[in-house]
Amino acid sequence: MTSNSPDATADAWLTRNRTALERTPFGVEVGEIGRVTRIADGIARVSGLPGVKLNELLRFSDTSLGFALTLDAESINAVLLDDSGSIAAGSEVHATGEILRVPVGEALLGRVIDPLGRPLDRDEPIPAETTLPIERAAPAIIERDLVSEPLDTGTLVIDALFPIGRGQRELIIGDRSTGKTSLAIDTIINQKHSDVICVYIAVGQRAGEVQQVIESVRRHGDPSRCIFVVATASASAGLQWAAPFAGISVAEYFRDRGQHALVVIDDLSQHAATHRELALLTHEPPGREAYPGDIFYLHARLLERAAKLSPERGGGSLTALPIAQTDAGNLSAYIPTNLISITDGQIVLDAHLAAANQRPSVDVGLSVSRVGGKAQPRALRDVSGKLRLEYSQFQELEMFTRFGGLSDVRVKQQILHGRAIRALLTQPRFDALRRIDQIALLATLDEGVFDALPLPLIAQLKARLSAWLDARLGDAKPDVASLASKPLDDALRRRLVVEVQALANDIADSSS
Cβ atoms of 39 and 89 within 8 Å: the answer is yes
Enumerate the β-bridge partners of residue 346.
Answer: 171, 368
Cβ atoms of 173 and 362 within 8 Å: the answer is no
Amino acid identity for residue 299 in this structure:
H
> What angle (nearest 5°) sits at the alpha carbon of residue 31, between those of residues 29 and 32?
160
Spatial distance between the Cα atoms of 118 and 116, rounded to a whole number of angstroms: 6
DSSP for 273-340, please give it: HHHHHHHHHTTPPB-GGG-BTTHHHHHHHHHTT--BBPGGGTS-EEEEEEEEE-STT-TTSHHHHHHH
Spatial distance between the Cα atoms of 441 and 427, rounded to a whole number of angstroms: 13
- Which one is catalytic: 35, 59, 144, 370? 370
Nearest Cα residue to 266 out of 182, 335, 372, 343: 182
Nearest Cα residue to 164 out of 141, 190, 182: 190
Alpha carbon distances (Å) from 429 to 117, 163, 191: 31, 19, 15
Spatial distance between the Cα atoms of 179 and 355, rounded to a whole number of angstroms: 11
Residue 370 bears catalytic tag:
yes
Catalytic residues: 370
